[in-house]
Structure formats: structure tokens, C-alpha cells
């Protein structure tokens, strides 16, 4: 699983659900760096959120042809809280978090969890190595669901931009093999291609 590179809103902590924000220049560099991290892996399936910040990360990481847009990998719909920071929301709703409070006009944790479950079904049916390019909250929910936890248990898993996480198995148990592994940005090499 790859969280997309930096955007202007991820840098400032604004909730970015359905708004299609592009990568910053740093985010583009990070995407190339992620490509270096993944270059030795041959994926049987590559899925991306259709939002440009994730799709561009996949493209710049060297995954062009064959990448499949997956609606269920879209970020959490924050409704009325789109574009707002947690601090701004807490001025009106003390103690608010996306994990414990509703997003008026947006999605519930359970709805995001149902989308994650559908992605997991696709991943398991692929029967091989799968790469997912997505978003912070959605991927945290997906990891929780992979491990059989409730969607809001994603709150226990911090996830930074342009990081790689690996879900897998220990025997027949679904586990997190690696989490939130950053790339070494200076090691990126633009032009990596897997077309």
C-alpha cells in the first residue's frame, strides 16, 4: 500500500477527501522515490484511487500501463469538514476526530470500512502481489479491516504521505508486515518506468 505524495493540503493538515488536489513538487519527487522502493517487485495487479494525487503518484512511481482505477480506494468523504483542519473543527466540536465523531454530509467509518472490504476482496482474488495507491484515512481503515479489526481501529495506525506499507500473512492470519516506511527522497530517480 502506498499513500500518495505530499499535497498542499496534506502539508497544512486540511482534510482532503473528494477535492482533487494535485501533488506539490515535493510530492512529485516523493512519488519517484516510492518507485525506487518498489522497483524490484513485479505486481500482478496495481490499483489506484481515481483521484489525481494517488493516480499521479502511481504514474510517477513507474506504474503507467495496466493500473486500474478503483472507486473504493477513494479517500474518506469528509462532507462539511472538507478542507478544514482538525483544530478548526474542534473550535465547534471539542474533541472531534474522524474516528469518533460524524462528518456531517460525509461518510461514516462503517461506510469507509465497507469500501475497504470490497478492495480486500479484489486483492485476495488476485492471488498474487498487489499494489494499492491511495489515501491516509482510507488505507488506515483498509489495514484495520485486513487484520479483522473495526474500521475505526485505523486510528491506531499513523500514515504519512509517500510511505509504503505491506499487508500479508503469517501462516493463514492476515497481518501487517511493514508499516509507514518512508522513502529516502534524495535517492529518487525520475524516469523510472514499468510500462
Q: For the segment 45-58, what is each residue's pLDDT rounded down to a tens digit?
A: 999 999 999 999 99
The verdict on whether 75 is a catalytic residue reads yes
Backbone angles phi, psi at 180, to 5 degrees: 55, 40
**CA distances for 123 relative to 76, 88, 129, 132, 162, angstroms:** 20, 37, 8, 9, 21
- pLDDT in the model for residue 183: 86
Give yes or no for a contact between 190 and 59, defined as CB atoms under 8 angstroms apart. Answer: no
Q: pLDDT tens, 17-45?
A: 999 999 999 999 999 999 999 999 999 99
Q: Which of 4, 15, 32, 135 is catalytic?
A: 4
The model's pTM is 0.93
Confidence of residue 185 (pLDDT cuts 50, 70, 90): low
All domains in the chain, ordered by first residue? 2-187 (3.40.50.1240)
Catalytic residue flag (residue 171): no
How many other CB atoms are there within 10 angstroms of residue 100's CB atom? 10
What's the rounded Cα separation, in Å, for the pair 11 and 13?
6
Active site residue: 75, 107, 135, 137, which one? 75
Residue 191 has pLDDT above 60, yes or no: no
Amino acid at each position: 500500500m502506498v499513500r500518495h505524495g505530499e499535497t498542499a493540503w496534506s502539508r497544512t493538515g486540511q482534510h482532503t477527501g473528494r477535492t482533487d488536489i494535485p501533488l506539490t513538487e515535493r510530492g512529485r519527487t516523493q512519488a519517484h522515490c516510492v518507485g525506487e522502493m518498489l522497483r524490484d517487485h513485479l505486481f500482478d495487479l496495481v490499483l489506484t484511487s481515481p483521484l489525481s494525487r494517488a493516480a499521479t503518484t502511481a504514474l510517477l512511481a513507474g506504474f503507467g500501463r495496466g493500473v486500474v482505477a478503483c472507486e473504493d480506494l477513494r479517500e474518506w468523504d469528509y462532507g462539511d469538514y472538507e478542507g478544514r483542519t482538525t483544530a478548526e473543527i474542534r473550535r465547534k466540536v471539542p474533541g472531534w476526530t474522524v474516528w469518533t465523531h460524524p462528518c456531517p454530509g460525509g461518510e461514516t467509518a462503517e461506510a469507509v470500512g465497507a469500501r475497504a472490504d470490497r478492495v480486500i476482496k479484489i486483492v485476495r482474488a488476485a492471488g498474487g502481489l498487489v499494489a494499492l495507491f491511495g489515501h491516509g484515512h482510507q488505507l488506515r481503515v483498509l489495514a484495520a479491516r485486513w487484520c479483522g479489526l473495526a474500521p475505526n481501529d485505523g486510528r491506531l495506525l499513523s500514515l504519512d504521505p509517500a510511505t509504503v506499507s505491506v499487508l500479508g500473512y503469517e501462516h493463514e492470519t492476515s497481518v501487517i508486515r511493514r508499516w509507514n516506511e518512508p522513502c529516502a527522497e534524495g535517492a529518487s530517480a525520475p524516469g523510472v518506468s514499468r510500462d
